[in-house]
Amino acid sequence: MKMDKLILISALLALNACGNADPADIDAAATGKPDVAPAIIPPDEVANPAEPPSYEVSIASAAATRNKALERCATQPEAVRTQCEQEANAAFVQNETDLQDLRGNKE
């Protein structure tokens, strides 16, 4: 008998909770589309993928390429490791020089 009362009370509490639901929540649940806040950045302000990347993106990409090259150099024999590292560093310096035109802060 005690278990029956517990089930009955649980069912009544669940039904009571359903009766207090907000109509907007019921509509959102029925359509499967909850209210969504608008995007922080409107779509027309997103960067155009056809344009070249910014200086920051380009220099980060060059630095990542250099880091990968240095990791490859570390696996080379000692005799060629120094030359490999020098070439990787020289390529990064050249990329950095080439990218100066993209830099927004020209002094």
- Residue 88: which domain range? 48-107
Together in a domain, 102 and 66 = yes
How many angstroms from the chain centroid is the CA of residue 45?
18
In a domain, 43, yes or no: no
Examine the domain organization and report whether 23 and 56 are in the same domain: no
Structure token pair of residue 4: 């029956």
* pLDDT exceeds 90 at position 84: yes
d(CA 49, CA 57): 13
pLDDT in tens, 69-80: 999 999 999 989
pLDDT of residue 21: 58
Res 42 pLDDT > 90: no
Enumerate residues 6+ apart whose C-beta is below 8 A from 72: 84
> What's the domain count of the chain?
2
- Which of the four pLDDT bands, split at 50, 70 and 90, describes residue 47? low
Q: Where are the beta strands (DSSP E) in 19-100?
A: none
66 and 100 assigned to the same domain: yes
pLDDT at 102: 76
Residue whose C-alpha is closest to residue 73's, from 59, 92, 94, 98: 92
> Rounded to whole angstroms, how far apart are CA atoms 103 and 57?
11
**Same domain (yes/no): 73, 101:** yes
Contacts of 68 (CB under 8 A, 6+ apart): none
More confident residue, 80 or 17: 80
